[in-house]
A = this chain, B = another copy of it.
Amino acid sequence: MRKIDYREAGVDYGKIDPLKVLAQQAAARTADNLRRHGLSEVAASRGESAHVVDCGDFYLASTTECLGTKALVADAMRQVTGRTYYDAIAQDTVAMAVNDLITVGATPVTVQAYWATGSSEWFDDAVRARDLVEGWRRACDACGAVWGGGETPALAGVVAADRIDLAASCTGLVRPKARLTLGDRLGPGDAIVLLASSGIHANGVSLARKLAERLPTGYATRLPSGATFGDALLAPTVLYAPVTEALAAAGIVPHYQANITGHGWRKVMRHPATLTYRFHTLPEVPEVLRFLQRETGGDDRAAYGNLNMGAGYALFVAAADAARAAAIAAAAGVPAVVAGAVEAGPRQVVLEPLGVTFAAGDLHLRA
């Protein structure tokens, strides 16, 4: 069994990051522009999952996120089963933008769609187009957001001829302002509640595609449960907005929130504070992620450092609220577990059941 790593699978974070740093520095310099409108940037939101502007009576939050390469999995699986799966990846795309937006305490209000194809012919496939539209609509409904519109360009020469580049933007409001969660109240003693993922979501897909190329039956490979690898990969990303709205309705304001995406459990320490995040309990690992780990030869460190491994979203709450927060999440349809706690100590994530520790230097998110 040959190991596959992320660089080999086409995602080279070492190359993306210098440009990101340059862009982040330039972007930060534009904050002063808001003064002429009587607004101001919430500086602590720089580097967070959503950008936040102080508008006086409320905060305005916004995100833009893309699906990544998961549409290639849908396209390949259609050859196997005849289903388009575009309803599923539509939900994934909406989830990427919404699950980031809600981390700052925002209620998602408007979702915009960005669907760039390689040619106008992409839209000739009426079944696929309808699945995309319906999946997008249902995801917006589930999040309580309005689908405001979007852009559907045909970009011959930029996007591959038979492909689509799916992205979403989300705008939201933090009202009342006390709902803002940028981590200023995060501290030792807080509990960490993990919300279940449904599978790979939309991160680690390049690795999964690489594996599919190597498996004799590709995406049709059966997992122990009998599900195919492809079907399991295409379980749509969980939308966490119903949970965060239910928490707000119950009067629970998390001290911090993290959407577990491209850097796996390293994202747990995305807040810049010097704190230790210690886990005593790990959530159940979705079968497809266990399979992916085993077949790509990744150890627990590689798996938890890059994949969600069953934890799609982390809530950091007062210890006294932890059990109730988990119960509210479950009542909103998302299994949750009180999995760990925040401690004074170096910035690190400690997975006690596995003997794995991620140090601050393992994460490179901020300028």
Of A16, A41, A146, A167, chain B has the most CB atoms within 10 Å of the CB of: A146
- Report A63 CB to chain B, min CB distance, Å: 7
Q: Identify A63's interface contact among B12, B20, B112, B137, CB under 8 A.
A: B112
Q: Contact check, B152 vs A16: say whether CB atoms are below 8 A apart.
A: yes
- Chain B residue numbers with a CB within 8 Å of A80 are none
- Chain B residue numbers with a CB within 8 Å of A165 are 116, 155, 158-159, 165
Q: Contact check, B169 vs A64: say whether CB atoms are below 8 A apart.
A: yes
Known A-B contacts A22-B130, A51-B149, A124-B15; the reply to A69 vs B157 at CB < 8 A is yes
Q: Contact check, B30 vs A137: say whether CB atoms are below 8 A apart.
A: yes
Q: Identify A169's interface contact among B12, B24, B112, CB under 8 A.
A: B112
- Chain B residue numbers with a CB within 8 Å of A145 are 30, 33
Q: Identify A65's interface contact among B55, B65, B151, CB under 8 A.
A: B151
Q: Contact check, B114 vs A66: say whether CB atoms are below 8 A apart.
A: yes
A contact residues, range: 35 or more
Q: Contact check, B113 vs A64: say whether CB atoms are below 8 A apart.
A: yes
Q: Contact check, B16 vs A60: say whether CB atoms are below 8 A apart.
A: no
Of A22, A158, A173, chain B has the most CB atoms within 10 Å of the CB of: A158
Q: Contact check, B169 vs A26: say whether CB atoms are below 8 A apart.
A: no
Q: Contact check, B158 vs A30: say whether CB atoms are below 8 A apart.
A: no
Which residue on B lies nearest to A26, using beta carbons?
A: B137
In A30-62, the 8 Å CB interface with B consists of 30-31, 33-34, 36-37, 39, 41, 46, 51, 53, 55, 57-58, 60, 62
- Report A143 CB to chain B, min CB distance, Å: 8
- Chain B residue numbers with a CB within 8 Å of A158 are 69, 71-72, 159-160, 163-165
Interface check A189, CB cutoff 8 A:
no
Which residue on B lies nearest to A145, using beta carbons?
A: B33
Q: In the bound complex, what is the Cα–Cα distance between A163 and B46 (angstroms)?
A: 28
Q: In the bound complex, what is the Cα–Cα distance between A46 and B65 (angstroms)?
A: 23
Interface check A279, CB cutoff 8 A:
no
In A145-184, the 8 Å CB interface with B consists of 145-160, 163-165, 167, 169, 171, 173
Of A24, A26, A156, chain B has the most CB atoms within 10 Å of the CB of: A26
Interface check A306, CB cutoff 8 A:
no
* Chain A residues close to B by CB (< 8 Å): 10-12, 15-16, 18-20, 22-24, 26-27, 29-31, 33-34, 36-37, 39, 41, 46, 51, 53, 55, 57-58, 60, 62-66, 68-69, 71-72, 107, 109-110, 112-114, 116, 119-121, 123-124, 129-130, 133-134, 136-137, 140-141, 143-160, 163-165, 167, 169, 171, 173, 206
28 A-B residue pairs with CB within 8 Å = A11-B120, A16-B123, A16-B152, A16-B154, A26-B137, A26-B147, A27-B146, A27-B147, A30-B146, A33-B145, A33-B146, A37-B144, A46-B149, A51-B110, A51-B148, A53-B109, A55-B173, A60-B110, A62-B112, A64-B149, A66-B116, A69-B157, A116-B167, A155-B165, A157-B160, A159-B165, A160-B160, A165-B165
Q: Which 6 A-B pairs have the closest CB atoms?
A: A51-B148, A64-B112, A169-B169, A15-B120, A27-B147, A12-B120
